[in-house]
Structure 1
Amino acid sequence: MTTTVVLRHALARAVAVAGWAAALAWLVATWPPEGSGLLFAVAVSGLLWVLCWRPAVVIDDAAVTVRNPLRDVRIGWSALDEASFGWSLRLRAGDVACRAVAAPGPASMSALYDRHVTPGGVLERDAVAQVGRHPAPALLAVRQRWEARRSAPSGGVTVAPAVASVAVLAASLALLVAAAVLA
């Protein structure tokens, strides 16, 4: 049995931590905070969780699951038709196609900060020129597990709303409106 692999966007997670730290620092600096300020800090924290912390690509023996902010797509290995990269990891199974927010592609702006070492040991910073030579780790992980498991019977395709994310998003938006009204 193979272990479950969970891929997340490191920059998004860092943004969430920085945002939460800033909200906490602001709350400490203005203690006791006004009602609207506290509502705003809680709302922003919820938005950071939905948009930056929760998204992931979960790879296990039965399927690959793409957890995006508003929906979860689970595709069994035998149902997967295509795994590719553009601006992000793209998966297709029949009529269902999804992109993984948590796995940005090498063509994204975050690739500009990647560092690559040439065979001569020279450090290159131009990741865009390296796209063809360095496949994205998320794509490699999906393709390796897919090759190993594609003939094994597995589940089909499940598309479901991310109920917790939608609830947190709705609450965050309501809190932002309340904060604006109270301000």
Structure 2
Amino acid sequence: MTTAVTEPVVLRHALGRAVAVVGWTAALGWLVAARPPGGTGLLFAAGASGLLWALCWRPAVVLDDDGVTVRNPLRDVRAGWAALDEAGFGWSLWLRAGDVTWHAAAAPGPASMSALYDRHVTAGGVLERDAVARAGQRPAPALLAVRQRWEARRAVAPGGLTVAPAVASIAVLASSAVLLVTAALTG
């Protein structure tokens, strides 16, 4: 029996994305308006931009036919559907495979105010806002998406678990910290 391949679904926190865009716009506006001398403004804007990318833009939960990948600022966790043991919600989506439990920064739980900006998956894999379905009326949209794909694929998808540092994100965070400290000391 062959199962149809479905497109990956990428869940991201809409409020985090909005914060990143507003931050980048503010940094650019400040650079243009203030024109700080000596390049310290550029160092500050570049450092702040890196922080916004790593903390607000990059985090995601990726659901595909073989498993779920959680991209957080410091590490990436990939679990095949057969390896996943449990999925639930607290302050954020959490998943467990064996002895490893991890949380998804990109999928806040219904207990947090930021969950009002979460997104859910429609039948066609399209993400849309649903602020009304909070406060215990139904499970969080990200949890529903994980459980639906898990139920459909765990019998035929491979298992396995990989936990790896998010090397690019860590490098951006470290570089951003250096740029911000440099801007503070030279400004």
The corresponding residue for 1:99 is 103
CA contact (8 A) 2:13 2:117 kept: no
The corresponding residue for 1:58 is 62
Following the alignment from structure 2 to structure 1, what is the Cα–Cα distance between the partners of residues 25 and 182?
23
Q: Does 1:46 align with 2:56?
A: no
Compute the displacement of 1:132 (Å).
Answer: 2.4
TM-score by length of 2: 0.86
Match of 1:157 among 158, 161, 179: 161
Following the alignment from structure 1 to structure 2, what is the Cα–Cα distance between the partners of residues 104 and 158?
22
In structure 2, the residue corresponding to 1:140 is in which secondary structure? helix
CA contact (8 A) 2:43 2:179 kept: yes
Compute the displacement of 1:44 (Å).
Answer: 0.2
Q: Does 1:35 align with 2:39?
A: yes
Following the alignment from structure 1 to structure 2, what is the Cα–Cα distance between the partners of residues 38 and 91?
40
Following the alignment from structure 1 to structure 2, what is the Cα–Cα distance between the partners of residues 131 and 79?
30
Question: What RMSD over aligned residues (CA atoms) do the two structures have, in Å?
Answer: 1.8
In structure 1, the residue corresponding to 2:179 is in which secondary structure? helix
Deviation digits for residues 25-84 of structure 1, max 9, x if unmatched? Answer: 011112365322111110000000000000000000001000000000001000000000
The corresponding residue for 1:167 is 171
The total of aligned residue pairs comes to 171
**Structure 1, unpaired ranges of 5+:** 115-124
Alignment of 1:134-149 (within 5 A): 134-149=138-153
Identity of aligned residues (%): 74
**Structure 2, unpaired ranges of 5+:** 119-130
Q: Which stretch of the first structure deviates more once superposed, 130-139 or 166-175?
A: 130-139
In structure 2, the residue corresponding to 1:134 is in which secondary structure? coil
Match of 1:81 among 75, 80, 85: 85
CA contact (8 A) 2:15 2:117 kept: no
In structure 2, the residue corresponding to 1:74 is in which secondary structure? strand
Following the alignment from structure 1 to structure 2, what is the Cα–Cα distance between the partners of residues 151 and 20?
44
